[in-house]
Amino acid sequence: MDHFLYRDGALYAEDVPLSEIAASVGTPFYVYSTATLERHFKLFDDALEGMDHLVCYAMKAASNQAILKTLAALGAGMDVVSGGEYARAKAAGVPGERIVFSGIGKTREEVRMALTGGIRQFNVESEPEMQVISEIATELSVEAPITIRVNPDVDAKTHAKIATGKAENKFGIPISRAREVYALAASLPGLKIIGIDVHIGSQLTELAPFEAAYNKVAELTEQLRADGHEISRLDLGGGLGIPYTRSNEAPPMPTDYGALIKKCVGHLGCEIEIEPGRLIAGNAGLMVSEVIYVKSGEDREFLIIDGAMNDLIRPAMYDAYHDIIPVIEPEAGVLPQPYDIVGPVCESGDTFAKGREMPPLKAGDLVAFRSAGAYGAVMASEYNTRPLIPEVLVKGDQFAVIRARPTFDEMINRDTIPEWL
Ligand SMILES: *Cc1c(COP(=O)(O)O)cnc(C)c1O
């Protein structure tokens, strides 16, 4: 469920007409709904009720500080995957005790930054990384809380580029070697083992892969405890998928996911962490774009819009499907027609949809990409020297620009010309 609905024939974000935002900030832009963000966070929080837990929003999905602040105000922790994200979370007011650091390539600088600024835990992904954390913690005379990310070798049944829990993937340590690696961790100074971490992929649309992974984690918990380790926290990752179309079967709800967690690991008495990103932000955001031209090809009509692959790369990168709807609701009885919906970037991959049925559209009309809140703005680039598009946050009848569109000068002046040139 989201808060982008037609009212009197016009598409709204909560109580604000999208056409009003377009007139104020120009197109294309991203717009997020506070009510949807809050609703999705609460679904997860409520799903784990009765268990000691923390929902750590995977901020790589959408990392604007206004979004982080909205979620942190509800008690969210943050899952960060870089020093930049760590700094961003801190800047948004999230305390170190609520920040979890994931990722396979944490640098010495990043480890030092987190140990100095405060960290809830590092999710350690390899032995060499563990050595580095141990060294730096010892040098700083602090204890680094760690979990070790295990790779359970389960098939998440998702797009290959976002599957992370198979043996062939670069993530985590093979679960078969977990006991050995925990023994190493226990022998190193400066580390405090607190639990286990697992994350098997993104946009999962079934519960079975989670169940397989979580059962393996439960079994490992018992083994590690028998080996004498204190396992008091389980980080179960993110990955629950969202419906990108309203026609397809809906993925499981957070309530069912929460019930599964209770079933698989509830008996262990551990504190539970989860790291949802897409499900919190995905359907809380739209990308709104304007039709520049309608162009007739040999055998098709192209809808050339001002949004492009550099603004929303998911279709080009993952063949992802986004619902694209007109901002003015078509009148009853209007026959749809097929369009290839494309951006202005000089690549054929800059195609959002082929043969998509839309009401007849003309230059100047606005269209909205649904489910664009996660892995949208954060993956944008300035390819073709196209400015990063603004982000707007709506709350009730108010809206605010939460990241402004840079001017051409701002973009160009980031280059520096050597004095010898
Ligand atoms: C990307 C990622 C997540 C979030 O995944 P979603 O599919 O957006 O829920 C959580 N944890 C880790 C370690 C990740 O890399």
- List, for residues 334-345, the tens digit of each pLDDT value: 999 999 999 999
Query: Which 3 state secondary structure label does DSSP give 104?
Result: coil
Do 122 and 24 sit in the same domain of this protein? no
Residue 317 to residues 139, 211, 352, Cα–Cα distance (Å): 42, 28, 11
275 lines ligand 1 (CB under 6 A): yes
- 420 lies in a domain? no
Distance separating the N- and C-terminal Cα atoms of the chain: 56
Q: If you count DSSP H runs as helices and E runs as strands, how many of each does the chain have, helices first?
A: 12, 21
Residue 418 lies in a domain: no
8-state DSSP, 147 = E
Contact 179, 221 (CB under 8 A): no
191 with 305, same domain: the answer is: no
Is the shortest distance between the CB of 277 and ligand 1 below 6 Å? yes
Distances (CA, A) of 294 to 289, 363, 415: 14, 7, 35
What percent of the chain has a predicted confidence (pLDDT) above 90? 94
What tens digit of pLDDT does each residue of 27-47 get? 999 999 999 999 999 999 999
Atom in ligand 1 nearest the alpha carbon of residue 201: 7
* Atom in ligand 1 nearest the alpha carbon of residue 60: 1
- The CA distance from 370 to 347, in Å, is 23
Residue ending a domain, choose from 262, 279, 296: 279
What H or E segment, with its residue span, contains residue 316? helix 314-318
How many independent structural domains does the chain possess? Answer: 2
Nearest-angstrom CA–CA distance, 57 and 42? 12
- Catalytic residue flag (residue 270): no
Residues 16 and 81 in one domain: no
* Helices of type H across 2-33: 18-25
Q: What is the pLDDT at residue 224? A: 98
Pocket test residue of 41, 59, 60 for ligand 1, highest count of atoms within 8 A of CB:
60
Residue 83 Cβ contacting ligand 1 at under 6 Å: no
Please indicate, yes or no, whether residues 22 and 44 belong to a single structural domain of this protein. no
Boundary residue ending a domain (218, 250, 279): 279
Average pLDDT, the chain: 96
Q: How confident is the model at residue 248 (pLDDT cuts 50, 70, 90)?
A: low
Comparing 161 with 263, which gets the higher pLDDT?
263
Is 419 within the bounds of a domain?
no
Asked if residues 10 and 17 have their Cβ atoms less than 8 Å apart, the reply is yes
Give the structural domain span for 274: 34-279
Of the residues 279, 304, 327, which one is the last residue of a structural domain?
A: 279
Atom of ligand 1 nearest to the CA of 277: 8
Q: 382: domain CATH number?
A: 2.40.37.10
CA dist 78 and 240 (Å) reads 17
Strand partners, 308: none
Candidates 122, 150, 121; CA nearest to 215 is 150
According to the annotation, is 318 in a ligand binding site? yes
Per-residue confidence (pLDDT) for residue 166, from 0 to 100: 84
Distance 338 CA to ligand 1 centre (A): 35
Same domain, 100 and 112: yes
Say how many Å lie between the CA of residue 57 and the centre of ligand 1: 9
CA–CA dist 363, 355 (Å, integer): 18
Please name the residue whose Cα sits nearest to atom 3 of ligand 1.
238
Q: Cα separation of 82 and 60, whole Å?
A: 9
Buried b (16+ CB within 10 A) or exposed e, 207-230: bebbebbbebbbebbeebeeeebe
Q: What's the pLDDT tens digit per position in 113-171?
A: 999 999 999 999 999 999 999 999 999 999 999 999 999 999 988 888 888 888 888 89
Bridge partners for 220 per DSSP: none
Cα of 64 from ligand 1 centre, angstroms:
16
pLDDT at 247: 65
Query: What integer is the mean pLDDT of 64-84?
Result: 98
Query: Encoding tokens for residue 346?
Result: 């000089």
Question: Does 106 share its domain with 212?
Answer: yes
CATH of the domain at 62: 3.20.20.10
User: For ligand 1, what atom is nearest to the CA of residue 202?
Assistant: 7
User: Choosing from 56, 264, 270, 346, which is the catalytic residue?
Assistant: 346
- Annotation-wise, does 277 bind a ligand? yes
